[in-house]
Amino acid sequence: MRLAALALTAVMVLTANGAELPKHPRELKFSQLSYTPPKPSEYRHKLSNGAVAFLVEDHDFPLVNISVLVRTGQYLEPGGKTGLASLTGSQIRAGGTKSKPPAEFDEEVAFLAANLSSGIGDVEGSANLNSLKSNLDQSLALFVEMLRSPGFDPGRLQLAKSQILQQMERRNDSAAGIEQREFARLLRGEQHFSTAQITKGSLEAVTREDMIAFHEKYYYPANFVFAVSGDFETKDMLARLEKAFGNWPNKSDKPVPVPKPNYTPKPGVYIVDKKDVNQGRVRMGHLGTMITNPDHIALSVMNGVLGGGGFTSRIMSRVRSDEGLAYSAGSAFHHGVYYEGSFLAAFQSKSPTVAQAVAIVREEIEKMRTGRITQEELETEKNQVIESFPNRFATASSIASQFASDYYTGLPEEYWQTFRDRVRALTVEDIQRVAQKYLHPDQLVLLIVGNVDDILKGNPDQPQYQLTKLGFAEKVVRIPLPDPLTMEYPAQ
C-alpha cells in the first residue's frame, strides 16, 4: 500500500512537470528521505519530587494523555506469591480507592468520559489516563488518587481471582499459549521469573495485605517516568504535575536489578502432543544478544533478510511462496535489555509437512551463515528500516512514549540520532560476519505443538523429511501437558 501510494505520487509529479513516464515502476526515481528525529532533551523535564516527565504538545484535538512507567515488576514477587504483581497492577484500577468504593470510582471516571488503566508486567508497571482537556483537573485528581491510595476492594479482588482461576483451567486449550509457555521454559529454565506460572496455590496465597505492601514499596514519584501528550501548554502541565504529585513522599530504597537467567538451553527436538489440531505450531531458536551489543543493528537487518522482512524475506519466500507449506513464516532477533534476548523462527504447517518446513527453515538459517546476501537484498532491507523510521515519532503520543521507555531502560540519548547512519553504513560483509557469529544452527531448540502421531508420520510422498533425520537430535523429547492448576508435569 505504501509503495503504491509513493508510485502514484511520483507519476502525478512527473505528469505535472511534463516529464516522460517510466515504462516500469522499477524505473521510478525518488528523492532521498529528509527527516530529523526529535531529541529527548527537547521534551524531558525533572519534577521537584524526582520524577522524570516527557511532555509533547499536540493541539489538534482537545485531549490529554498521561502515562506512567513504574520501576517495579513481576521479578520482584516473593517466593510462593506468583501472581502478586499482576493482581496488584490490575486492582490498583479495579479495586477503587481508600475513599471511594469501586462502583463510585468507576461512575466518576465514566461521568468525566475519562479512561484510566493500570497494570504490572515482567519488568515494569504502568498506568494511563486519557482525558478531555476540559475535564483534566478532575480526571487528574482521580488518576493521582488511584495511584496513591488504591482501595484494593476485597470483593473486586475475589472476582479477579475467580476469573484468573477460570483462565488457568483453560491454559492447556490453546496451542499458541502452550507454544509460548514451553518455549520460554526450554530457553530460560524453570527457575527464572519470566517462566514462572501462576498456580492455584500461589493465587490463593496472595492476600490483600500483600498487595498493599507491594504497592507501598514501589509506588512513589521518584520511581515514576511520565509520558504526557496532548492539548496543553508545557509550562502549565508541569505546574499541574507538580501540584498533583508534589506532596507525595519518596523513599530511599531502589528496586533490585532484574535477575538474569542461570540456565543453558539444551538443543534438541521437543514436542507437545495436542490431538485436537491438524497443524503443528513450530518455534525454533537459541539465545541472542543484548541491545548494548554494538552488532545489534546489523543483526536486525540480517534478520530482516532472513525472516523478519515479510514477503521479501528468505524464510517467507521459501516456506510460503515457493513450497506452500505455511500461510506465514518468519524469524525475529530480540535484543535483551536486562539479559540476553533470543533468536527464533516460527511457523504453522499441516501435520504431514511440518518436518519438511522445519528442514527448509534450518537450511535458510545455515545458508545465511555460510553464504552472502546480495547487494539488492541488503539495500531493500536497509531502505525499509530507514524509510519507516519516521513512523516511530509520527505522533505526539509516540514521541513521549518512546522517550519515556528509552529513559526507563537506559537507552543512550543519542541512540535515534545516529540510528539511520549506522544502518546506512552496513555492508554485505557486515551481515555475513554477524550471521556467522550469532546464528548457531547446532544450538537450536526446536519445539513443536501438534498431533504427534501425524507429525512423526510425515509426508509419505517425501519420506526423506523426518524429524529424527534432520540433524537436530537422535530422538524426539516429548513434553507432557502439566496439570493446569498446579503446573506440575507428569513424570516421564
Residue spans of the domains in the chain: they are 43-245, 268-478
Answer with the residue of higher pLDDT: 119 or 254: 119
* Predicted confidence (pLDDT) per residue in 310-356, tens digit: 999 999 999 999 999 999 999 999 999 999 999 999 999 999 999 99
Is 149 within 8 Å of 99 (Cβ atoms)?
yes
Report DSSP state, residue 32.
Answer: P
68-72, 81-85, 253-257: range with lowest mean pLDDT: 253-257
The amino acid sitting at 76 is L
Looking at residue 7, its pLDDT comes to 53
- Which DSSP letter does residue 318 get? I
Decide if pLDDT at 80 tops 60.
yes
**Same fold for the pair 43-245 and 268-478:** yes
Q: What is the mean pLDDT of residues 57-72?
A: 98
Are 232 and 223 in contact by the 8 Å Cβ rule? The answer is: no
pLDDT band at 492 (very low <50, low <70, confident <90, very high): confident
Q: Residue 1: pLDDT band by 50, 70, 90 thresholds?
A: very low
For residue 165, the one-letter residue type is: L
Phi, psi of 123 (to 5 degrees): -130, 15
Tens-digit pLDDT profile for residues 440-451: 999 999 999 999
Q: Is the pLDDT of residue 234 over 90?
A: yes
Average pLDDT over residues 267-289: 96
Position 132 pLDDT exceeds 70? yes
What's the pLDDT tens digit per position in 20-33? 777 777 777 767 66
pLDDT of residue 12: 54
> What is the signed CA dihedral for 408, 413, 414, 415, rounded to 10 degrees?
0
Question: In angstroms, how far is CA 396 from the centroid of its own chain?
Answer: 21
CA nearest to 218, candidates 241, 257, 196, 250: 250
pLDDT band at 8 (very low <50, low <70, confident <90, very high): low
**Rounded mean pLDDT of 294-314?**
96
Give 395-429 pLDDT, tens digit per residue: 999 999 999 999 999 999 999 999 999 999 999 99
Q: How many whole angstroms separate alpha carbon 19 and alpha carbon 476?
A: 64
Nearest one of 307, 319, 334, 253 to 280, comparing CA atoms? 319
Q: Reduce the DSSP state of residue 492 to 3 states and report it.
A: coil
CATH class of 268-478: alpha beta
Q: Residue 427, exposed/middle/buried by CB under 10 A (0-12, 13-18, 19+)?
A: exposed
Q: If we measure between CA atoms, which residue out of 375, 374, 365 comes closest to residue 345?
A: 365
Q: Look at the domain 43-245 and name its fold.
A: Cytochrome Bc1 Complex; Chain A, domain 1 (3.30.830)
pLDDT for residue 467: 85
Report which secondary-structure segment, H or E, holds 70: strand 63-70
Confidence of residue 3 (pLDDT cuts 50, 70, 90): very low
What is the overall mean pLDDT for the chain? 93
pLDDT at 5 exceeding the cut of 80: no
Per-residue pLDDT, averaged over 46-52, amounts to 94
At residue 462, the pLDDT reads 87
pLDDT-based confidence at residue 150 (cuts at 50, 70, 90): very high
Q: Which three cell numbers stand for residue 161?
A: 481471582
What does the alpha-carbon distance between residue 88 and residue 187 come to, in Å, rounded to a whole number?
Answer: 28
Query: Given the C-alpha cell 518455534, which residue does it identify?
Result: 283
Please compute the mean of the pLDDT values over residues 246-273 and round it to a whole number: 92
Q: How confident is the model at residue 19 (pLDDT cuts 50, 70, 90)?
A: low
pLDDT of residue 17: 56
Question: 3-class DSSP state for residue 225?
Answer: strand
Q: Contact 37/388 with Cβ under 8 angstroms?
A: no
Report the pLDDT averaged over residues 160-189: 97
What letter represents residue 191's amino acid? Q
* Residue 273 zone, left/alpha/beta (φ > 0; ψ -120 to 50; rest): beta
Nearest Cα residue to 271 out of 442, 443, 446, 441: 446
The string of DSSP codes covering 454-467 is HHHH--TT-TT--G
Cβ-count burial 219-244 (b if 16+ within 10 Å, e if not):
bbbbbbbbbbbbbbeeeebbebbbeb
Average pLDDT over residues 477-482: 96
| 219's grid cell | 509506588
User: What pLDDT is stored for residue 9 in this prediction?
Assistant: 55
How far is CA 177 from each of CA 49, 122, 167, 274, 453, rounded to the nearest angstrom?
A: 42, 17, 12, 12, 21
